A = this chain, B = another copy of it.
């Protein structure tokens, strides 16, 4: 379903290597994360997981997200409104355009913007560790 032939990260291997146990909940959550193309929040992940195994708890979802984030396997986004949303950290860096009507998240990338950010930070005497660029908009009205 995904056109990118890219890296299919083997998280279970990574986890093992980090000395972390491969448990049933973790397996399920990882599968959900690798199979989705969107940016689900913890509750969404929890609900999808519940379908597979109704005994999973929301706490475990949160704990697993934190674990994966610390391992660098996922990114956490704090878009406007409520909950944090997550996505796999494989693939290229990109920023997000959020459709204010539907909540859809569209990914984009601009080398020129990235460059300009670097220049600005440098001119202010800083090194960028990370950044956040979010565009909030609506579908153009066809007049």
Residues of A in contact with B (beta carbons under 8 Å apart): 78, 80, 97, 99-100, 106, 108, 110, 112-113, 116-117, 120-122, 124-141
Contact = CB atoms under 8 A, between A and B. Distances in A.
Given A97-B121, A117-B113, A126 B131 contact: no
A124 B139 CA distance: 9
A138 B116 contact: no
A135 B140 contact: no
Contacts of A132: 132-134, 136
Contacts of A113: 113, 116-117, 120
Given A108-B120, A121-B97, A135 B139 contact: no
Given A78-B78, A97-B121, A138 B134 contact: no
A100 B129 contact: yes
A127 B117 CA distance: 22
A122 B116 CA distance: 20
A125 B100 CA distance: 13
Contacts of A130: 136
Contacts of A136: 128-132
A140 to B, nearest CB: 5
A23 to B, nearest CB: 30
A122 B140 contact: yes
A135 B131 contact: yes
